Amino acid sequence: QCLQGLDFLHSNHVMHRDVKSLNILHKTDGSVKLADFGFSAQLTSEQSRRSSVIGIAWWMVPEIAKAEPYGPKVDIWSFGIVGVEMVEQGVPYGNKSPLSAQFLIATKGTPELQQPKLLSPSLRDFLSCCLQTDEARRWSAKELLQ
């Protein structure tokens, strides 16, 4: 359901820019909602990318950590980090300060899973598609939904 929400946002040229576990609300009926659009940004034909450094360090995408221009796929990276957080009960570099975590994301890129053999091959592949350091190789929400 989160990917459907991200696909809707991205197809309407909106980036959430703050996808993290705290912003995914679980309802009693089992559905989920993406919340907190305070950092969201509308993209236009004149401004199809952003460059402001925004977000919480542990869910931050490498291109933001390096202060490079970025597009909607920043949300996909952060969604992948939420997936890692769910299976490992913590975010990568969660034991580091925000500045250290941002530095490690900028320099090391994709975090290593602590116990990858405990995950199914399909889940490892899914996370890999989300956590590509090269934005061009990172899948879109639409591609992940297929």
Is 134 one of the annotated active-site residues of the chain?
no
List Cα–Cα distances, 36 to 114, 116, 129, in angstroms.
30, 31, 25
Residue 30, Ramachandran bin (φ over 0: left; ψ between -120 and 50: alpha; else beta): left
- The catalytic position among 18, 29, 36, 134 is 18
Q: What whole-number distance in Å separates Cα of residue 13 and Cα of residue 67?
A: 21
**Distant-in-sequence, close-in-space partners of 71: CB < 8 Å, separation ≥ 6:** 15, 43, 48, 49, 50, 135
C-beta neighbour count of 78 within 10 angstroms: 27
Query: What is the total residue count of the chain?
Result: 146
Catalytic residues: 18
